Amino acid sequence: MKISALLTSAGINIGLCVLFLSLYSILRKQPANIRVYFGRRIAEEHSLLREAFILERFVPSAGWIVKALQCTEEELLAAAGLDAVVFNRMLVFSIRIFSLAALLCISIILPLNYFGQNIHHLQIHSEQLDIFTIGNVQVRSRWLWVHCIVLYIISGVACLLLYLEYRHIAKLRLIHLKRETPSLGQFTVLVRGIPKTTKESCSSDVDDFFTKYHASSYLFHQVVYKAGKVQKIMTSAKKACRKLEDFTVTMVDHIVLPNDEVVENRGEDDLNDSISNTDNNTDNEECAVAFVFFKTRYGALVASDVLQTSNPTKWVTDLAPEPNDVYWSKIWLPYNQLWIRQIATLLGSIVFMLLFLIPVAFIQGLSELEQLQQKLPFLNGLLTKPYMIQLVTGYLPSVILQIFLYSVAPIMMLFSTLEGPTSHSERKRSACCKVLYFMIWNLFFVNLVSGTVLKQLNFFSSPKEIPVQLARVIPGQATFLITYVLTSGWASLSSELMQLFALIWNFIRKYILRIKEDTEFVPSFPYHTEVPKVLLFGLLGFTCSVLAPLILPFLLVYFFLGYVVYRNQLLNVYRTRYDTGGLYWPIAHNTVIFSLVLTQIICLGVFGLKVSPVAAGFTIPLIILTLLFNQYCRKRLLPLFKTFPAQDLVDMDREDEQSGKMEHIHHQLHTAYCQFPDTEEMQLEKIRIAGNDKDDEERCSSGESNNKETCEEQQPRKDLSHPTLKGLPVNRLQNAIRSITFLIRLQKRGLS
């Protein structure tokens, strides 16, 4: 690729970006799209900003950019949680380090590479891109030590920045811990692997155990039921209710909601059967998991840290997730299953990653047209026209790859669900790791080292050759990487901002299907796809920095744009239902360290290829120093992301006790965790009736006021730990029964 071609491509992409941003700035001002672009604010601030028609709405503006940039870290923390801040810091770190890298590499390395060989230079715009890479430097060049020094500077500054960010986020995590609204999860321990004793019920076992061994701090407990039939009934009832509501509102206004009398119907018998079955089941199987509540945060911490009994798979204790973060549908899984599930999903992910080589190989086959024509002769007729050939070789491969790539995140999410996570945030974080490994493996290693599947396997079977191989490949692939940043990077940001799918779906629903607006559904930020994307671009930036610096300006634009776009999205579009408490940072840290070490190893290979023993020799201590730095961070900062410091918890406990808040918190704990909440509509109804300004206490998940999944506040909680269904709140069951029997009747009448 020539410089001119690159500039053309860049121009087109910039134009597209500007177009999309302008379009966005108009579309966001349309009241019809308000649910698409301001989902979070509507859901949380309850301000429906519908305005009349004014001209201003159709003029592009940059106000949103200013707003996104003006927002301080505290505001972001308050609006979108700690994870959003961590994600923001990843972008800030990337901008900082790649600004420096771009400055150094463009001003020093680029001229060195360009004049690296005594060849006749063409006019600048018609030069090949390869001439700007280290590949153009002469073998045994005296200037390679400059590359080595720049590598040292970039690595050193990256480590320094990384350390500062790590420390900053650790501090934020502690501040987050001490926030105003007390986190109820800190008082709660999730107990798994409760051993079965035949004599009594599980609930009294839990009571006995904690009364005996944690007498001073134990408060009470709550058993988790196996989310089998009960859960299914509740879920189907919920769905039925929602469908029903849409249905009634939009089309059949005259159908009256069924009332209690409907229960005396034909459906009743089946229903009673299923309930009595469930009754028997829960009797046997309630006893997998329980939430245990403690008087103090410190008590809960101690109970979660200590090995309870001489069988480490019994009475396994961990700090519980926050009430609105609990992943109810998997939390009841027996503890003994979990490690098998984890291993199975690990194997599954590896198989999936290897199977993905097949479409990649197929795509690479598409580029080699002759082979394709030989193997699939019926294509010959099709492939005679030149534009068809261009389409098949140039466009189709990346489309197919993108389609396959879109399947990665959901599949990894599925794997993470199968693992048996206890919380939504854990599930998303685990999926994030899987997607990250996948992208690094498939997009970086496999895609770069082009060739057939077998060739690739050979490549990875001789580890000593990897640096040399990568050193050969990376400079040559600079063109591909720059185009990747231009298309995939910039385009993904535009589409993220535009929310194309949501926009179209909103339009269809509103004007074609005419379904009532779904006020409840506001998506959470997809950390599991966006974090790996940002980190992958970071990896590309580091590995290319010294070798092919021309990529850096384009990357920098990506990070700047990403900074604005993601901040805007976090503030306006996505709702934060749950938070990992900054646990995405260790992932980012490890990935950056991996990127740095990989860069250094590749440079080692390049210096070896260019026969520069001094530069190669000086790179080895750099690798060791980077690894030592990582080890230091593991010792110094990582423990803070795994547990909480006792000192802070004890201080908080004392403060709360002295200010008399503790009583209030203990009261809240009684209604915090409810496995079978009311259906959302019923509850919304209740809230509407009760008025929006009612006390927070009445909501079930009082720790987070932005959560709607509440439950009965006055219901006697002790019942929940009883092994039969009797303890379930009566009106909730009645609701379910009512909805189901109504649905059955509808079906029989042929209405649905």
Interaction site with a second copy (CB under 8 A): 170, 174, 212-213, 216, 301-302, 305-313, 339, 343, 461-464, 628, 631-632, 635-640, 643-648, 650
In this structure, what DSSP letter does residue 323 have? G
Pick the closer one to a second copy by CB: 8 or 631. Answer: 631
CB of 183 to a second copy, least distance (A): 17
State the distance between the two ends of the chain, measured CA to CA, in whole angstroms.
Answer: 60
CA dihedral (20, 22, 25, 29) positive or negative: negative
Burial class (CB in 10 A: 0-12, 13-18, 19+), 469: middle
Pick the closer one to a second copy by CB: 225 or 315. Answer: 315
CB of 299 to a second copy, least distance (A): 10
The backbone torsions φ and ψ at residue 677, rounded to the nearest 5 degrees and listed phi first, read -70, 165
Pick the closer one to a second copy by CB: 142 or 464. Answer: 464
- Decide: 387 and 288 in contact? Cβ < 8 Å: no
CB of 637 to a second copy, least distance (A): 7
Pick the closer one to a second copy by CB: 384 or 647. Answer: 647
Looking up tokens 């690159």, which residue turns up? 6
Distance of CA 421 to the CA centre of its chain: 14
CA distances from 104 to 14, 64, 115, 485 (A): 24, 32, 17, 20
CB of 209 to a second copy, least distance (A): 8
CB of 507 to a second copy, least distance (A): 50
CB of 179 to a second copy, least distance (A): 15
CB of 677 to a second copy, least distance (A): 33
Pick the closer one to a second copy by CB: 526 or 581. Answer: 581
Q: Which residues contact 119 (CB under 8 A, 6 or more apart)?
A: none
CB of 699 to a second copy, least distance (A): 32
Pick the closer one to a second copy by CB: 40 or 214. Answer: 214
Pick the closer one to a second copy by CB: 647 or 692. Answer: 647
Pick the closer one to a second copy by CB: 213 or 501. Answer: 213
Burial class (CB in 10 A: 0-12, 13-18, 19+), 732: buried
State whether residue 720 is helix, strand or coil. Answer: helix
Pick the closer one to a second copy by CB: 259 or 310. Answer: 310
CB of 196 to a second copy, least distance (A): 17
In this structure, what DSSP letter does residue 527 have? H
CB of 638 to a second copy, least distance (A): 8
In this structure, what DSSP letter does residue 289 have? E
In this structure, what DSSP letter does residue 679 have? P
- What is d(CA 477, CA 448) in angstroms, rounded to the nearest whole number? 7
CB of 11 to a second copy, least distance (A): 47
Q: Which residue in 740, 735, 731, 725 sits closest to 713, CA to CA?
A: 731
What the block records as the tokens of 430 is 């685990």
Pick the closer one to a second copy by CB: 372 or 650. Answer: 650
Strand order in the sheet with 188-192: 218-224, 289-294, 188-192, 316-319
Single-letter code of the amino acid located at 370: E
Exposure pattern of 575-600 as b/e (b: 16+ CB <10 Å)? Answer: bbbbbbbbbbbbbbbbbbbbbbbbbb
Single-letter code of the amino acid located at 84: A
Helices (runs of H) and strands (runs of E) counted in the chain: 33, 4
Q: Which residue in 681, 727, 730, 676 sits closest to 239, CA to CA?
A: 681
Pick the closer one to a second copy by CB: 461 or 714. Answer: 461
CB of 741 to a second copy, least distance (A): 46
Q: Which residues contact 480 (CB under 8 A, 6 or more apart)?
A: 448
Q: Which residue in 568, 566, 542, 565 sits closest to 555, CA to CA?
A: 542
3-state secondary structure 144-191: HHHHHHHHHHHHHHHHHHHHHHHHHHHHHHHHHHCCCCCCHHHHEEEE
Which residues are paired to 192 by β-bridges? 289, 316
CB of 366 to a second copy, least distance (A): 30
- Decide: 668 and 183 in contact? Cβ < 8 Å: no
- Decide: 148 and 128 in contact? Cβ < 8 Å: no
Pick the closer one to a second copy by CB: 33 or 317. Answer: 317
Pick the closer one to a second copy by CB: 100 or 638. Answer: 638
CB of 134 to a second copy, least distance (A): 25
Pick the closer one to a second copy by CB: 4 or 631. Answer: 631
